[in-house]
Amino acid sequence: MEYTDHMPQPTNDVWEVLSTARSIRRFTDRPVDDETLRRCLEAATWAPNGANAQLWRFIVLDGPEQRAAVAEAAQAALHTIESIYGMTRPAADDDSRAARNNRATYELHDRAAEHTSVLFAAFKNDFASEYLQAGSIYPAMQNFYLAARAQGLGACFTSWAAYQGEQTLRAATGVPDDWFLAGHVVVGWPRGRHGPVRRRSVDDVVFRNRWDTARAGIVYGAGARPGDK
C-alpha cells in the first residue's frame, strides 16, 4: 500500500518538533487512528486561553457528508487563492521549487475529500474584538498541529473554512452562527518526510523597543513565499 513508502518520524524533542513542523500537503492512504488523533485533540485542550473559559469546540470531519463538504470548500478556496497569488497548475516538466510547492498545494485541494480534518470553532462574545478572541483558540490549533508533528503525523492549516466555504461547512456540521469558524486543519500520515522549516532569521523580524521602518517592509522572498513549507 502507498502508506508503506515512508515510516512516521515521531519525536519527543520539542525543539525538533518546532523546527521541523512543516506544512504537509501530501498524505498517504493510511488512516489516522482514533488514539493518535485523540492525543492531538487533547493537546489542543491544554492551550492557554482567556480566563480559562475554553470557549472552543473541535469538530472532527471524517464522515462522508462532511468530507464532501470539505472537498467543496477546498475547491472554493483554491479558486480564490489562485487569483490572489496568480497560481496555476505547473507543467509536468517544471521541477522548480515554486512548481513543487504549487503541485503539492493542488494535490491537497484535489484530494481534500480523502483526508481527516478538524474544524476549530470559537464562541462569539460581545466584549472583545475578533482578533482578541482569536488569541484564545489559535494556541489550541497550534498545540494540535505540534502534537501531530510529534507523533509523526503531518498537518496543514487551510483557508477552507473561510471565503465561500464557510457556509458549506456550517451546513455540513451544524455549527450555529454565534460561533466563529476560527480555522481548519488537515491531518494525516505524510507522503514524504518532515524537514526544517524555511523562515526569515530572527534578526530580520525582531525589533527592540522601537519599530524599525527599514526592516518592516513586506516582500515575498526566498523562504517566505505563500505556500512554502
Contact yes or no for 28/191 (Cβ under 8 A) = yes
- Domains belonging to the chain, first-starting first, are 2-198 (3.40.109.10)
Rounded to an integer, what is the distance from CA 40 to the centroid of its chain? 13
User: Closest by alpha carbon to 150, among 227, 46, 36?
Assistant: 36
Rounded to an integer, what is the distance from CA 18 to the centroid of its chain? 15
Contact yes or no for 24/155 (Cβ under 8 A) = yes
Q: DSSP characters for 149-167?
A: HHTT-EEEEESTTSTTHHH
Beta strands in 3-71 (DSSP E): 56-61
**What is the per-residue pLDDT across 164-205, written as a single tens digit (0 to 9) for each?**
999 999 999 999 999 999 999 999 999 988 999 999 999 999
- Worst-scoring range by mean pLDDT, 1-10, 21-30, 164-173? 1-10
Rounded to an integer, what is the distance from CA 135 to the centroid of its chain? 16
Is pLDDT at 228 greater than 90 in this prediction? no
**What is the per-residue pLDDT across 65-88, written as a single tens digit (0 to 9) for each?**
999 999 999 999 999 999 999 999
Question: What predicted TM-score, i.e. pTM, was given to this entire model?
Answer: 0.91
Beta strands in 105-219 (DSSP E): 116-123, 154-158, 179-188
